[in-house]
Structure 1
Amino acid sequence: MGIVSSPGVSVNQPRRRLRGAERRRRVEAAAVVAFANRGYDATSLGEIASAAGVTRTVMYDHFPTKRALFLQVLASQHELMLTEIARGITSEGGPRDRVRATLAAYLEFTREHPATRRLLLDPIPSGDPELDQVVRGYLDDRADAISGLLSADLAGAGVDLGSTSLPVIVAVVSGAADGLAQWWALHPDTPFDDVVDAATRLLWNGLPRAGDA
């Protein structure tokens, strides 16, 4: 019996950890949608627990407060979005190829994670000044990351990276990408390649001359 029971324990232990990880994942996924749709203030932990299919007791094991859950969701989704944006900007090929790859990666991300885009880029005010400042900080981090990733191409186009041109250009490009994602969400039948190609032509015809007087 001892020989049989010992393997049983070792096999069951990792399964229990996986179940716990899966519960946490489901809570975070439900929280992203709830916070994006209703905002921090109007969302309750009970609502999130119900959507995740877990009890409130189980949820408290992972996230003792709504604030802790909100901060975790912001951090994880911000990292996820930046990873996808960086994948495009740092892809192989010339500057035009990277522009297209970045737009494609971002649009694919917003299609697969629409709630994340709303949560991070079109947030509902939380009613908590400190939390709203955290959200603004993530927006600034996103702009800084894009600036760093685009700086070599923009310098090659003649942009003075120490001037105000860099943050302005990044704001325009980011705003255009966000607007495009919103438009495509309303017109999902428009072919993906047509959307990316048209946006690439617009940005490419402007970015190489962004340093011109």
Structure 2
Amino acid sequence: MTQVETGSAPRRRLSAAARRQRIESAAVEVFAERGYDATTLGEIATAAGVARSVLYDHFPDKRRLYLHVLGTESNAMLAQVADGITGAGDGRDRMHATIAAYLAYTRDRPAGRRLLVDPVPSGDPELDQVIRGYRDARAQVVTTLLAPDLARAGIAGAAVPVVVELLIAGVDGVARWSADHPAADQDEVVGSVLRLLWQGLPRYADPGER
């Protein structure tokens, strides 16, 4: 028997790894937009273009999927920033690379940034605590990066987490602005942030301040 020509190529079946990646990507987008409590697995399956039964093959419940994508996005953010922190050069060069890396992460993975930095409250205290843990981890990374510069500026003790939080919030604000203004010269954006931080920190304990 001759096979009837349909005029179109047969659809290729996605591998399990590809389906899982689609589910994870869709979950990040939907959780970031709607929050944990309002999101259903059916919405994520639809966004991923897979049957709900396929989603269950990879993630048995919403909580495990949410925790998984939180961890994945946090690791991605820290890995990208760590490339700047541990790169070559002096402290100024590494700070420049770190700022540029975070701005790039925000442009490349805006939903991931919202999920970690501006999450819709989950309605679950334990899950909210997990998110706070990731925030604390990011703050520790920045504190480690800036430790020598903070010490030189006379910033110590209880002032350290306050200054670090201010710096993180400021750089994140610039990152969001940069993502909304893609035509802006990114080198100039990074340079402006670097100059403010690098020149401002040493003046923190300036005895001549008014």
TM-score of the alignment, normalized to the shorter chain, above 0.5: yes
Q: Identity rate of aligned residues, in percent?
A: 57
User: C-alpha distance in 2, partners of 1:150/1:79?
Assistant: 20
Q: Once the 2 structures are TM-superposed, how far is the Cα of residue 97 of structure 1 from its aligned partner?
A: 1.1
User: C-alpha distance in 1, partners of 2:180/2:161?
Assistant: 29
Most deviating of 167-176 and 150-159? 150-159
Aligned to 1:198: 192
User: C-alpha distance in 2, partners of 1:212/1:74?
Assistant: 41
Q: Which residue, 177, 191, 197 being the options, matches 2:171?
A: 177
Q: Which residue, 125, 138, 141 being the options, matches 1:142?
A: 138
User: C-alpha distance in 2, partners of 1:97/1:169?
Assistant: 20
Q: Which residue, 60, 81, 84 being the options, matches 2:77?
A: 81
1:113 is the counterpart of 2:117: no
Aligned to 2:15: 19
User: C-alpha distance in 2, partners of 1:110/1:208?
Assistant: 28
- The AA in structure 1 aligned to 2:115 is L
User: C-alpha distance in 2, partners of 1:121/1:77?
Assistant: 11
Unaligned runs of 5+ in 1: 1-15
Q: Once the 2 structures are TM-superposed, how far is the Cα of residue 137 of structure 1 from its aligned partner?
A: 1.6
Aligned to 2:202: 208
Q: Once the 2 structures are TM-superposed, how far is the Cα of residue 205 of structure 1 from its aligned partner?
A: 0.7
- Greater than 6 Å deviation, 4+ residue runs: none
- Aligned residue pairs, count: 195
Q: Once the 2 structures are TM-superposed, how far is the Cα of residue 156 of structure 1 from its aligned partner?
A: 4.2
Q: Once the 2 structures are TM-superposed, how far is the Cα of residue 207 of structure 1 from its aligned partner?
A: 2.2
Secondary structure in 2 matching 1:41: coil
**1:145/1:209 Cα in 2 relative to 1: closer, same or farther (>3 Å)?**
same
Q: Once the 2 structures are TM-superposed, how far is the Cα of residue 43 of structure 1 from its aligned partner?
A: 1.0
Q: Once the 2 structures are TM-superposed, how far is the Cα of residue 128 of structure 1 from its aligned partner?
A: 1.3
- The AA in structure 2 aligned to 1:154 is L
Aligned to 1:32: 28
Most deviating of 182-191 and 68-77? 182-191
Query: What value does the CA root-mean-square deviation take over the aligned residues?
Result: 1.7
Task: Please give the TM-score of this superposition, normalised by the length of structure 1.
Answer: 0.85
Contact residue 89 and residue 150 of structure 1 kept, 8 A: no
Secondary structure in 1 matching 2:37: helix
